[in-house]
């Protein structure tokens, strides 16, 4: 019996030491960058917080950070020519929007040799999502940015309409009641809902739009899947009825002309400081996306973003070390006064605790379809929005075009 207890104690000690051992292995991996220069892509001049991180990183690893500054739009447009010319930073970011095109064009290199994948700081879900034929092309400590329904609760109160949060707390926040909210809130200069994430309802119903066999490097369309169809049907119905605004919704939401906005809360509220500007006298609330009727797993829509190593990077290990250190730094300083102050531009303290608990207990879903087409799918949507097409008839009309774009992506 004593022997069994001793073995249990030993196992407990070993398990509790695993994170520390993983951290030590990562630190050992990055010791080799001492004396080197690390080129890091920034989309603008480093902020005061980023400058603090840079100084701390340089001090710990005995290296120098060289900011590679280029706006996101310029970077997307010039990335291919920069790789060809050999003028690339050692690390950049890629969301699911650009990932497949960059991968297919050979602009990214595998990152497996540059990180310790067992380190608990890395997000396993995005690590698995950015795998292709056995290699991994992206890594992140977070990497998952959920899409929420950000709504103007004051507009709901004024109209006497039951709020999304009330439905959510009752366990009834689904497509049926989302549709009800959108219809009841439309009128008197207000549109019920809006977004520029065209496939948001399909995602909320558990569809990825395109299916990816990552092991074998195969892509297939999922437009005729019942999960996709039900999501597209809701979107088309709302658009045809005038209850849905597609496209940029920031101004209309900020002006109190949009009841529900499906977006990332920071991009809606914090970026424009709405709590202290145009919506200072309104109550802004946040709830997850509604659950679709075929979403048996309860997965939620999100954008996946990772750090990636460009093909031709001169110091890839240094680039990975920067992301590793930044993740550690952010975790250690998450409750610093300046971090909390910035966070409160988006979330009240109560909302922050809500989203933190929700995200810790939710499995998220994303789509890589934007990496196959971006605006090339507009005719498909226009037929549903304006010409009365069903998702089935619209897909039948454009299936060959979608298939061609899929087939043309990876050409051996």
Following DSSP, what letter does each residue of 45-73 receive, concatenated? SPPHHHHHHHHHHHHHHT-EEEEEE--HH
Beta strand segments in 289-342, E: 300-310
Residue 261 scores a pLDDT above 50 = yes
The counts of H helices and E strands in the chain are 17, 16
> Could you read off the pLDDT of 155-183 as tens digits, one per residue?
999 999 999 999 999 999 999 999 999 99
Residue 12 scores a pLDDT above 60 = no
The pLDDT, as a whole number, for residue 24 is 85
Q: How confident is the model at residue 126 (pLDDT cuts 50, 70, 90)?
A: very high
Strand partners of residue 42: 69
Residue 326 scores a pLDDT above 70 = yes
Of the candidates 334, 335, 348, 200, the residue with the CA atom closest to the CA atom of residue 274 = 348
Residue 2 scores a pLDDT above 60 = no
Q: Quote the tokens at residue 393.
A: 């008839």
What global pTM score does this model have?
0.90
Q: How confident is the model at residue 106 (pLDDT cuts 50, 70, 90)?
A: very high
> Could you read off the pLDDT of 205-240 as tens digits, one per residue?
999 999 999 999 999 999 999 999 999 999 999 999
Range name among 3-7, 54-58, 355-359 with the lowest pLDDT average: 3-7
- Average the pLDDT over 102-124 and give the result: 96
Q: Where do we find the tokens 């991996």?
A: 29
φ, ψ of residue 197 in degrees (nearest 5): -90, 90
Q: How confident is the model at residue 22 (pLDDT cuts 50, 70, 90)?
A: low
- Average the pLDDT over 392-399 and give the result: 97
The pLDDT, as a whole number, for residue 18 is 41
Q: How confident is the model at residue 367 (pLDDT cuts 50, 70, 90)?
A: very high
> Could you read off the pLDDT of 48-59 as tens digits, one per residue?
889 999 999 999
How many Å apart are CA 307 and CA 309, to the nearest integer? 7
How many Å apart are CA 3 and CA 304, to the nearest integer? 47
The pLDDT, as a whole number, for residue 6 is 44
Q: How confident is the model at residue 104 (pLDDT cuts 50, 70, 90)?
A: very high
Q: How confident is the model at residue 3 (pLDDT cuts 50, 70, 90)?
A: very low
The pLDDT, as a whole number, for residue 338 is 87
- Average the pLDDT over 92-117 and give the result: 96
Residues 6+ apart with CB under 8 A from 158: none
Q: Report the share of the chain in percent with pLDDT over 70.
A: 94
């Amino acid at each position: 019996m004593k022997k069994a207890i001793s073995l249990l104690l030993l196992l407990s000690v070993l398990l509790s030491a695993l994170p520390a051992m993983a951290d030590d292995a990562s630190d050992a991996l990055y010791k080799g960058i001492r004396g080197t220069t690390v080129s890091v892509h920034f989309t603008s001049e480093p902020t005061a917080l980023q400058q603090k991180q840079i100084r701390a990183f340089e001090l710990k690893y005995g290296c120098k950070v060289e900011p590679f500054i280029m706006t996101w739009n310029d970077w997307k447009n010039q990335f291919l020519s920069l790789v060809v010319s050999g003028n690339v930073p050692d690390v950049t970011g890629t969301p699911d929007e650009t990932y497949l095109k960059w991968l297919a064009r050979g602009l990214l290199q595998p990152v497996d040799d540059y990180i310790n994948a067992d380190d608990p700081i890395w997000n396993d879900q995005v690590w698995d999502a950015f795998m292709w034929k056995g290699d991994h092309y992206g890594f992140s400590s977070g990497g998952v940015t959920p899409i929420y329904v950000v709504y103007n609760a004051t507009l709901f109160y004024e109209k006497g309409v039951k709020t999304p949060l009330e439905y959510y707390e009752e366990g009834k926040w689904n497509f049926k009641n989302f549709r009800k909210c959108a219809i009841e809130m439309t009128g008197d200069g207000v549109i019920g809902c809006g977004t520029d994430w065209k496939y948001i309802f399909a995602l909320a119903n558990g569809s990825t739009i395109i299916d990816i066999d990552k092991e074998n490097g195969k892509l297939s369309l999922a437009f005729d899947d019942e999960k996709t169809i039900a999501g597209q049907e809701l979107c088309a119905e709302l658009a045809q009825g005038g209850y849905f605004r597609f496209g940029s919704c920031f101004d209309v939401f900020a002006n109190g002309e949009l009841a529900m906005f499906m977006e990332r809360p920071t991009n809606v509220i914090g970026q424009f400081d709405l709590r202290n500007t145009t919506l200072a006298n309104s109550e802004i609330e946040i709830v997850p996306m509604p659950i679709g009727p075929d979403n048996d797993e309860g997965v939620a829509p999100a954008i996946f973003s990772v750090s990636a190593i460009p093909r031709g990077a001169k110091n890839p290990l240094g680039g990975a070390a920067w992301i590793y250190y930044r993740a550690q730094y952010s975790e250690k300083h998450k409750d610093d006064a300046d971090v909390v102050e910035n966070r409160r531009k988006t979330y009240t303290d109560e909302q922050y605790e809500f989203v933190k608990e929700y995200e810790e207990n939710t499995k998220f879903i994303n789509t890589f379809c934007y990496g196959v087409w971006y605006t090339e799918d507009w005719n498909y949507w226009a037929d549903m929005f304006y010409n009365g097409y069903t998702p089935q008839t619209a897909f039948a009309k454009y299936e060959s075009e979608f298939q061609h774009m899929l087939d043309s992506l990876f050409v051996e």
